[in-house]
Structure 1
Amino acid sequence: MSAPSSGLMRRFFSCLSARSSGVAGDAASSDSDGDGPHGGEDIISGLPDDVLSSIVSLLPIKEAARTAVLSSRWRRLWASNPLVLDDMDLLLNNPSHVGAVTATVSAAMRAHPGPFRSVSLTCYFSDADKHVLRRWIRVLAAKGAKELVLNNIPWAGLDLLPGALLECRSLQRLRISDWRFPDTSGAPALPRGAAAALPRLRELVLGRTIIQEQDLDRVLASSPMLKTLVFVLSSGVPAQVRLSSRSLWCVVFWHSAAEELAVVAAPLLERIIIQTSSSSCASRWGMRIKIGSASVLQALGFLNPSCHELQIGETVIKVGNKKAAPDAVVPSVKILALSVQFGVGSKARMVSCFLECFPNIETLHVRSIPDRGATSKDGNSEFWSEIDSVECVKGSINKVVIHGFQWENCEVEFLKSILEGAKMLQKIHILQDPNISVSEGDVNGTLSLLASLNKGVELVILAAGQGYGIWTYEVASDLSRNDPFDCQN
Structure 2
Amino acid sequence: GPFIIGSPSPRAVTAAVSSALAAHPGPFRCVHLTCSTMDEHRGEMARWIDTLVAKGVQELVFVNRPWPIDLRLPAALFSCASLTRLYLGVWRLPDTAAVPRGVSFPNLRELGLCWNVMEDRDLAFMLERSPVLEFLVIMASQTGVRVRLVSRSLRCVQLGHTFLENIDVVEAPHLERLFQWQTVAAAGSRVMANRSFRIKIGNAPKLRVLGYLKPGEQELVVVAGSKENIVPSVQILAMEVQFGVRNAIKKVPGFLRCFPNLETLHVQSPRILEESIGKVNLKFWQEGGPIECVLRSMKKLFFYEFRGSRRELTFLKFIAERGRVLEQMVVVVASEYFSSGDNVNAKLKPLANAKWSSKACKLELFRSPFEEVSGPPYCHKIASDFGFANPFDLQYYSEAEVISLS
Same structural fold, with TM-score higher than 0.5 when normalized by the shorter chain: yes
**Shorter-normalised TM range:** 0.7 to 0.9
Equivalent in the alignment of 1:415: 316
The residue correspondences of 1:105-144 to structure 2 (distance < 5 A) are 105-122=17-34, 124-125=36-37, 127=39, 129-144=41-56
With over 3 angstroms needed to count, the CA separation of the structure-2 counterparts of 1:97 and 1:117, relative to structure 1, is: same
Out of 368-377 and 205-214, give the one that drifted further: 368-377
Q: Does 1:223 align with 2:130?
A: yes
Alpha carbons of structure 1 residues 151 and 260: separation in structure 2 relative to 1, 3 Å: same
Between 390-399 and 341-350, the greater mean CA deviation after superposition: 341-350
Counterpart amino acid of residue 210 in structure 2: L
In the TM superposition, residue 126 of structure 1 has moved relative to its aligned partner by: 5.4
2:179 paired with 1:273: yes
Deviations 1:33-83 (Å, cap 9, x if unpaired)? Answer: xxxxxxxxxxxxxxxxxxxxxxxxxxxxxxxxxxxxxxxxxxxxxxxxxxx
| 1:415-462 deviation digits (Å, cap 9, x = unpaired) | 000000001111111222234436676311233322223523122222
Structure 2: distance between partners of 1:148 and 1:233: 19
Q: CA RMSD in A?
A: 3.1
> Structure 1 residue aligned with 2:222, among 312, 333, 354?
312
Residue identity opposite 1:102 in structure 2:
T
Asked if 1:98 is matched to 2:10, the reply is: yes
1:172-183 correspondence runs (5 A): 172-183=84-95
1:250·1:270 contact (CA, 8 Å) conserved in 2?
A: yes
How do 1:429-444 residues align onto structure 2 when only pairs under 5 Å count? 429-437=330-338, 442-444=343-345
User: 2:16, 2:274 → 1: CA distance?
Assistant: 58
Paired position in structure 2 for 1:254: 160
User: 2-side partners of 1:302 and 1:214: how far apart?
Assistant: 26
Structure 2 residue corresponding to 1:296, chosen from 200, 206, 227? 206
1:460 and 2:364 aligned: yes
CA 1:129–1:229: 2 relative to 1, 3 Å: same
Paired residue total: 382
> 2-side partners of 1:99 and 1:155: how far apart?
17
Taking the aligned partners of 2:3 and 2:272, their CA distance within structure 1 comes to 45
Q: Does 1:450 align with 2:351?
A: yes
Identity %: 39
Q: CA 1:456–1:445 in structure 2 vs 1: closer, same or farther (change >3 Å)?
A: farther
Q: Which amino acid in 2 is paired with 1:336?
A: L
The answer for the alignment partner of 1:368 in structure 2 is 269
CA contact (8 A) 1:257 1:286 kept: no
- Larger RCO, structures 1/2 (Cα 8 Å, 6+ apart): 2
Distance, in Å, in 1 between the alignment partners of 2:212 and 2:282 is 23
Q: In 1, are the aligned partners of 2:84 and 2:110 still within 8 Å (CA)?
A: yes
Q: Is this contact kept in 2: 1:388–1:421, CA < 8 A? A: no
CA contact (8 A) 2:9 2:37 kept: no
Q: Using the TM superposition, give the Cα deviation of residue 388 of structure 1 relative to its aligned residue in structure 2, in angstroms.
A: 8.3
Once residues 367 and 105 of structure 1 are traced to their aligned partners in structure 2, the CA distance between those partners, rounded to angstroms, is 45
Q: Report which of the two has the higher share of helix.
A: 1
Residue in 1 that maps onto 2:115: 208
Identify unmatched segments of 5+ residues in structure 2: 371-375, 399-406
Post-superposition offset of 1:180: 0.9
Hey, what's the Cα distance between the residues in 1 that align with 2:362 and 2:289?
Answer: 19
Are residues 1:403 and 2:310 paired? no
CA distance in 2, matches of 1:249, 1:330: 16
Are 2:216 and 2:247, in contact at CA under 8 Å, matched by a contact in 1? no
Q: Which residue of 1 aligns with 2:373?
A: none
Offset at 1:222? 1.0
Among candidates 242, 261, 277, match of residue 148 of structure 2:
242
**In 1, are the aligned partners of 2:301 and 2:330 still within 8 Å (CA)?**
yes
SS in 2 for 1:471: coil
Matched, 1:348 2:249: yes
The one-character-per-residue Cα deviations of 1:117-159 (angstroms, maximum 9, x if unpaired) are 2211125335353121111111111222221111222325771
Partner SS, residue 335 of structure 2: coil
Q: Which amino acid aligns with 1:201?
A: L
> How many angstroms does 1:202 deviate by?
1.0
Q: Distance in 1 between matches of 2:381 and 2:67?
A: 27
- TM-score, length basis structure 2: 0.85
Residue 292 of structure 1 aligns to a residue whose secondary structure is strand
| Amino acid aligned to 1:212 | E
- Local SS of the residue matching 1:295: coil
The superposition leaves residues 176-201 of structure 1 with CA deviations (integer Å, 9 ceiling, x where unpaired) of 111111122234666xxxxx711111
Cα distance in 2 for residues equivalent to 1:96 and 1:235? 23
Of stretches 240-249 and 438-447 in structure 1, the one that deviates more from structure 2 is 438-447
Cα deviation 1:225-249 (Å, max 9, x = unaligned): 11111111126433x2211111001
2:73 to 152, 156, 161: 161
* TM-score where L is the length of structure 1: 0.71
Partner of 1:437, secondary structure, is: helix
Query: Quick one: structure 1 residues 278 and 140, their matched pair in 2 at CA, closer, same or farther if it must change by over 3 Å?
Result: closer
- State how far apart, in whole Å, the 2-side matches of 1:217 and 1:243 are: 8
**CA displacement at 1:314 relative to structure 2:** 8.6
Matched residue type, 2:170: V
CA distance in 2, matches of 1:436, 1:419: 23
More deviation in 391-400 or 178-187? 178-187
SS in structure 2 at match of 1:105: helix
The DSSP-based 3-state class of the residue aligned with 1:116 is: coil
- Of residues 392-401 and 177-186 in structure 1, the stretch that sits farther from structure 2 once superposed is 177-186
Change in CA separation of 1:149 and 1:126 when aligned onto 2, cut-off 3 Å: closer
